[in-house]
Amino acid sequence: MSLSPVTARACANIALVKYWGKRDAALNLPATGSLSLTLDALSTETTVAFDDSLTIDELSLDGHPARPDELARASSFLDLVRSETGIQIHARVTSKNDFPTASGLASSASGFAALALAATRAAGFTLTPRALSVLARRGSGSAARSIFGGFVRMHAGMSSEEAFAEPITTVDPAFVARVRMVVAVVGGGVPKTHGSRDAMEHTAATSPMYRAWLDLVPRDLELAEAALAKGDLEALGTLAEANALAMHASAIAARPSILYWRPATLAVLAEVRGLRATGQAAWATMDAGPHVKVLTTDEDAELVSRAVVDIPGVTAVTVSGVGGPAAVVDAAAVVSLEPTAK
């Protein structure tokens, strides 16, 4: 028996208030909530086909056979889908990113969000957005947010079913339309030396600043949501930059240190501060990698892009608008995720 393949597309998201650390590694439960922005310029497209002629799952990433560890992670996630849907056959998965993989640009977020949607639909099931977010979180904590477009709030919850993301629907559409993110790729987008999962565990176990980080995030979430409610980009950007630096401070303080930054990272941060000093809308954020993302406006995005593109060590610059929700893709159209029952 072979089921019809399904292709899904999901966008990466960049957390403006981050989670860093897990409360339960087995269930992938975050230690704190988070708040993110989905980006339309960073996306993953994934096709899943269940086929009973296969003896194992197969995975191709960006045109190449996946490494054994990558296949194992995808296969474990497919086991969750098989358990959820009752399908007991293996799958062929083909996935392609339009941005560097595993380098600190949230490829696991878009990747597992696309895989969750494509796999469940290929198995013949339509999950509610909340259930799909819970499922995607099992593959990658940030994937729960990539199920949705725009600004997204992730709830840490008290249980697996309560740890889900949802879109923040009260933000003024005119404000959303103005927002841009300039992504400065540092070092060519090569795979990072410390994977996010291991780095989180190490930071939580050894950093003397980790407890302070956990105490900080709930307050930052309240302030970020208040800034969004007012349409105050300066307040949001100021908070996002401070939150990112606090996250990295906790990692840098780990023993031994987790340090993702490169000279070009610091140079971009300095340039962003210089742009602000001359009145431009520019606030930096960074995830587990050397790249810098600059929150800005449609009016200032080109200027910000020009300012960072020639910094030595910056190998690519992308300007992104706000992305939409994960969607099933077919030859005729893109079908947006609907809040239908399982």
| pLDDT, tens digit, 9 for 90 and up, residues 79-138 | 999 999 999 999 999 999 987 655 556 589 999 999 999 999 999 999 999 999 999 999
- The rounded Cα 306 to chain-centroid distance in angstroms is 25
Average pLDDT over residues 160-179: 98
Average pLDDT over residues 166-192: 92
- Domain contains 342: no
- Domain contains 339: no
pTM: 0.93
| Interstrand relation of 292-297 and 314-320 (parallel, antiparallel or unpaired) | unpaired
Task: Looking at the structure, tell me whether residues 278 and 146 fall in a common domain.
Answer: no
- Domain contains 332: no
Listed residue (339, 3, 341, 296) closest to 147, CA to CA: 339
Q: How does DSSP classify residue 322?
A: B
Domain that holds residue 17: 6-172
Quote the pLDDT of residue 339. Answer: 36
The greatest distance separating any two alpha carbons of the chain, rounded to the nearest whole angstrom, comes to 64
CATH number at residue 316: 3.30.70.890
| Confidence band for 189, pLDDT divided at 50, 70 and 90 | low
Q: How does DSSP classify residue 52?
A: T
- Domain contains 47: yes
Quote the pLDDT of residue 196. Answer: 85
Quote the pLDDT of residue 188. Answer: 79
Quote the pLDDT of residue 98. Answer: 86
Task: Looking at the structure, tell me whether residues 140 and 187 fall in a common domain.
Answer: no
Q: CA–CA separation, 275 vs 75, rounded Å? A: 46
Q: Give residue for tokens 């977020």.
A: 109
Task: Looking at the structure, tell me whether residues 229 and 247 fall in a common domain.
Answer: yes
Task: Looking at the structure, tell me whether residues 168 and 68 fall in a common domain.
Answer: yes
- Domain contains 193: yes
Residue 268 CB coordination number (10 Å): 28
- Domain contains 273: yes
- Domain contains 331: no
Report residue 301: phi and psi, to 5°.
-60, -40
CATH number at residue 127: 3.30.230.10
Q: CA–CA separation, 223 vs 37, rounded Å? A: 16
- pLDDT of 207 higher than 60: yes
Task: Looking at the structure, tell me whether residues 257 and 149 fall in a common domain.
Answer: no
- Domain contains 152: yes
Q: HSE on the CB side for 7, CA within 13 Å? A: 12
| Confidence band for 195, pLDDT divided at 50, 70 and 90 | confident
Q: Of the candidates 172, 187, 215, which is a domain's last residue? A: 172
Task: Looking at the structure, tell me whether residues 257 and 125 fall in a common domain.
Answer: no
Listed residue (260, 258, 246, 241) closest to 186, CA to CA: 260
Q: Of the candidates 139, 172, 205, which is a domain's last residue? A: 172
Q: CA–CA separation, 337 vs 8, rounded Å? A: 10
Structure tokens at 297: 């406006």
Structure tokens at 87: 């399908």
Write out pLDDT tens, residues 237-292.
999 999 999 999 999 999 999 999 999 999 999 999 999 999 999 999 999 999 99
Quote the pLDDT of residue 1. Answer: 57
Count of positions (residues) in the chain: 342
- pLDDT of 219 higher than 50: yes
| Interstrand relation of 58-61 and 91-97 (parallel, antiparallel or unpaired) | parallel
Structure tokens at 27: 């269930």
Task: Looking at the structure, tell me whether residues 152 and 200 fall in a common domain.
Answer: no
Please give the mean pLDDT across all residues of the chain: 93
| Confidence band for 334, pLDDT divided at 50, 70 and 90 | very low
Task: Looking at the structure, tell me whether residues 95 and 182 fall in a common domain.
Answer: no
Listed residue (60, 139, 103, 100) closest to 326, CA to CA: 139
Task: Looking at the structure, tell me whether residues 54 and 12 fall in a common domain.
Answer: yes
Task: Looking at the structure, tell me whether residues 214 and 151 fall in a common domain.
Answer: no
Task: Looking at the structure, tell me whether residues 164 and 177 fall in a common domain.
Answer: no
Write out pLDDT tens, residues 58-76.
999 999 999 999 999 999 9
**Strands (DSSP E) found in 51-200:** 58-61, 64-65, 91-97, 151-154, 165-167, 179-186
Count how many domains the chain has.
2
Q: CA–CA separation, 206 vs 195, rounded Å? A: 16
> DSSP readout, 36-102?
EEEEEEEEEEEEEEEBTT-SS-EEEETTEEPPHHHHHHHHHHHHHHHHHH---S-EEEEEEESS-SS
Task: Looking at the structure, tell me whether residues 152 and 68 fall in a common domain.
Answer: yes
Q: Of the candidates 128, 144, 172, which is a domain's last residue? A: 172
Instruction: Tell me whether residue 306 is exposed, middle or buried, using C-beta atoms within 10 angstroms of its C-beta: 0 to 12, 13 to 18, 19 or more.
Output: exposed
